[in-house]
Structure 1
Amino acid sequence: MTTSGEDRPAWADPRWQDEAHAWIETRLAASGRRVTGPVEARIRPWSLVWQVPTDAGPVWFKANNPGTRHEAALLGALAELAPGRVLEPIALDAARGWSLLPDGGESLRDLLGRHRDLTHWERLLPEYAALQRATAPRVDHLLDLGVPDHRPERLPTLLADLLDDEESLRVGAAAGLSPEAYGRLRAELPAYAQRCRRLAELAIPATIQHDDLHDGNVFAGPAGYRFFDWGDASVAHPFGTLLVTLRSVGYGFQLEAGDPALTRLRDAYLEPWTDRHDRRTLAEAADLAVPLTTVSRSLSWRRALDTTDPARAEYAEAVPGWLAELVGG
């Protein structure tokens, strides 16, 4: 998504902006709305987001870079498969990675900023699990839409391929993997593959895995909890979600790893699966999936930073940093 001959994203081109504005106005007109003022922009290497004022309140336009372009198509699929748990798009252009969404209201982060109440997570995690379970029968469709395949049986090959990409890992660079950590990761490949095989043997179906589910990516308005910002998502073991979620909750509530409150949240999340699996199996699967998912996080960051935008340098530690956690740094 770069302009030919220039190290800048396509959305920096005024012609691209004119085309996007025209698309927004046309799609809003079809739903009986019109733009009433200039947009407010938020730009990251992986996406551009515009808040667009209209005569019926603000709406949100998002354009993804090539590495996260699948998000637009995924939003449409999730709205169909799990209605009420995500925003219903106003318009989508999957080929260009464009989405136009209504305003979702207050985020959970804003709500917790006024009143830190852990029970929000106890209530919403089973709802997120329900979304995953509703989506599981359609994973082939999600893969056809371009959602990345991070299922346990694929992860060892993906890790091996990632280790061959020394440029992304920045081996030996200040913000990259040390040569020692790189060597440990190479040596870890057989054990990693064995753990992936065991996780697959537990036969918990793969489904959509948000891979960045924290309080900033959940709406918590009158319509209930709704989940957004799916650019990092993949088809994967569902329990990999717990890597980011429990870590972010622990940080926000100043809880150490292993705190009983975090265990209670894990169990609340796992509860919907107890109709088909015993709790011991579910706990084993969660214990396996969480560390294995550091590879998924590294891969999602590599896709997000698949751009020549110089701003990507700000996030140089993300790909090697997540991967290093697999061997303790």
Structure 2
Amino acid sequence: MSRTVTVVLVDAAGRSLGALPPFDVPDPWWQQVASIVEEAHRRHGVEVAVLRLLDADRPAPPGGHVRYLAQVADVPPVPLEPVVVDLAPHPLRMPWAEVGGPARSVAWATEELRRLGRPVTAVAQQRTWNLSAIWRLDTPTGPAWLKQLPPFARHEPAVLHWLLSTPDRTVDQGVRVGVDLRRDANSLIDEAAGGVRVLAVGGEGRVLVGHVPGEDRYGAGEGERMAIAAGHHAVQVRSVREVDRLVAGGVPDLRGLGPGRWIRGRLAGHDVTAAGRLLDGLDDRLARVRDCGLPDTLVHGDLHPGNVRGDESRRVVIDWADAFVGHPAFDILRLTEDLAPAAADRLVATWADRWRADAPGSDPRRAVDLLRPVAPLRLAAVYAMFLAGIEPSEHPYHVHDVPAALARAAAAARP
């Protein structure tokens, strides 16, 4: 599947100049803009900074014919097609989607890298949408990455700083570190989080991070997911005594009955009929989860293999923008949700064995069973939060995710 794009150009004052002729790019995902920038340059010799999605000919990604707004420094030496486009400001527009926004962010990152003795030799825009903007900045000592985050995700740098702080072997609150984990704590924690180094944090959600070699591990099989789960367990055990510190640093607090209040608040105004019975009994269900005896930990919030980078021997968990403090079972449920039932059960069983060893007297399997329908319910609330925080032109990214997640939650809650 590919994508046909029309790039509507504006100048530095925000005046519409017209549109480049439509062209195809190979990747179908609307937020990926590297191929748009490259193809505009290859076809027309135009250097563009993509600002935001304007509209599309289908209700949701991927593929189709998609229009974007992009800024140019000079009027391009190619014929432009006249267009009608709404350029009115919007209060929920992200800073990087404004005229001049990408240039300001890249200038900040370039200066920070210069101060670190790493002059920038090339810049390549990678992604822009309501959840983030990402650029790659090449330097003589290797690439760095500029990521800009919306207000509801700006706790990610705090999580990254904590992940690379000195591991503390002593864990209290009724949790002990087993012999094998104690022996291997450094290597497991390094595998799970090491390498995502924060180089600088700036205004408007900007964070500059070091390069993590390897590839995103989409399609990882059962064995590799076992290794991901083992490394992540070490991080979660380490975080048990640090949850108050993480919350003080801005990480969302979804401990105890907190998810119930948070979910209901985010879903207010949405049609929740499909999951009405689950919502009605949510506080009772969460109380039973608490009785299972597992501690609250740092939760990644979106622990699928695509958010793990590396190779088959070394992996780094990336993209902590959805992180929160809460029940550790949410992450194993996310890691296993697209596996065949037998494989998923083996991963959950191994996860439960670790927690029974490290939290004596707990019942991890029962916690997973109780939270299985809550996991997609929480995701529905996350998507609703996204929709509440972004301008309407970008609603197609998520508007269908809310009812889909509610339907999955309702199905998982059925006896």
Please, what TM-score do these two structures have when normalized by structure 1?
0.82
Give the drift of 1:309.
Answer: 5.6
Residue 242 of structure 1 is matched in structure 2 by 332
Cα distance between partner residues in 2 of 1:33 and 1:92: 13
Contact 1:8–1:310 (8 Å) recurs in 2:
no
The letter of the residue matching 2:305 is D
Cα distance between partner residues in 2 of 1:284 and 1:42: 40
Contact 2:300–2:331 (8 Å) recurs in 1:
yes
Deviations 1:232-282 (A, max 9, x none): 11111001112221113x1xxxx2xx32x2211112323332324469812
Q: 5+ unaligned residues in a row in structure 1: which ranges?
A: 172-176
Residue 317 of structure 1 is matched in structure 2 by 400
Give the drift of 1:230.
Answer: 0.9
Q: 1:108 to 1:41 in 2, by over 3 A?
A: closer
Contact 1:8–1:308 (8 Å) recurs in 2:
yes
The residue matched to 1:199 in structure 2 has which SS? helix
Deviations 1:76-105 (A, max 9, x none): 222226662323424232753222122212
Residue 411 of structure 2 is matched in structure 1 by 328
The CA RMSD measured in Å over matched residues stands at: 2.7
Contact 1:68–1:303 (8 Å) recurs in 2:
no
Residue 91 of structure 1 is matched in structure 2 by 199
Tell me: higher relative CO, structure 1 or 2? Use CA pairs within 8 A at least 6 residues apart: 1
Cα distance between partner residues in 1 of 2:323 and 2:103: 29
Q: 1:280 to 1:129 in 2, by over 3 A?
A: same
Contact 1:126–1:270 (8 Å) recurs in 2:
no
Are 2:264 and 1:135 aligned? no
The letter of the residue matching 1:262 is A
The letter of the residue matching 2:261 is T
Cα distance between partner residues in 2 of 1:273 and 1:208: 15
Please, what TM-score do these two structures have when normalized by structure 2?
0.66
The residue matched to 2:105 in structure 1 has which SS? helix
Residue 175 of structure 2 is matched in structure 1 by none
Cα distance between partner residues in 2 of 1:211 and 1:320: 19
Contact 1:214–1:245 (8 Å) recurs in 2:
yes
The letter of the residue matching 1:131 is V
Which structure 2 residues correspond to residues 214-253 of structure 1 after superposition, within 5 A? 214-221=304-311, 224-248=314-338, 250=339
Deviations 1:145-203 (A, max 9, x none): 2211222311222233234x21xx2x3xxxxx5xx42xx51x44342211100111122
| Percentage of matched positions with identical amino acids | 24
The letter of the residue matching 1:160 is R
Cα distance between partner residues in 1 of 2:351 and 2:202: 31
Contact 2:309–2:318 (8 Å) recurs in 1:
yes
Give the drift of 1:108.
Answer: 4.7
Q: 1:79 to 1:319 in 2, by over 3 A?
A: farther
User: How many pairs are equivalent?
Assistant: 302
Cα distance between partner residues in 1 of 2:260 and 2:102: 41
Which has more strand, going by share of residues? 2
Are 2:146 and 1:61 aligned? yes
Deviations 1:12-44 (A, max 9, x none): 234333332222122212332111113222112
Contact 1:46–1:67 (8 Å) recurs in 2:
no
The residue matched to 1:322 in structure 2 has which SS? helix
Q: 1:309 to 1:28 in 2, by over 3 A?
A: farther
Q: 1:299 to 1:93 in 2, by over 3 A?
A: farther
Deviations 1:288-320 (A, max 9, x none): 223222232223223334111612323212233
The residue matched to 1:80 in structure 2 has which SS? coil
Give the drift of 1:131.
Answer: 0.7
Give the drift of 1:134.
Answer: 0.8
Give the drift of 1:325.
Answer: 2.6
Among 84, 88, 111, the alignment partner of 1:26 is 111
Give the drift of 1:4.
Answer: 8.8
Residue 298 of structure 2 is matched in structure 1 by 208
Cα distance between partner residues in 2 of 1:141 and 1:226: 23
Contact 1:126–1:271 (8 Å) recurs in 2:
no
Are 2:264 and 1:160 aligned? yes
Contact 1:136–1:207 (8 Å) recurs in 2:
yes
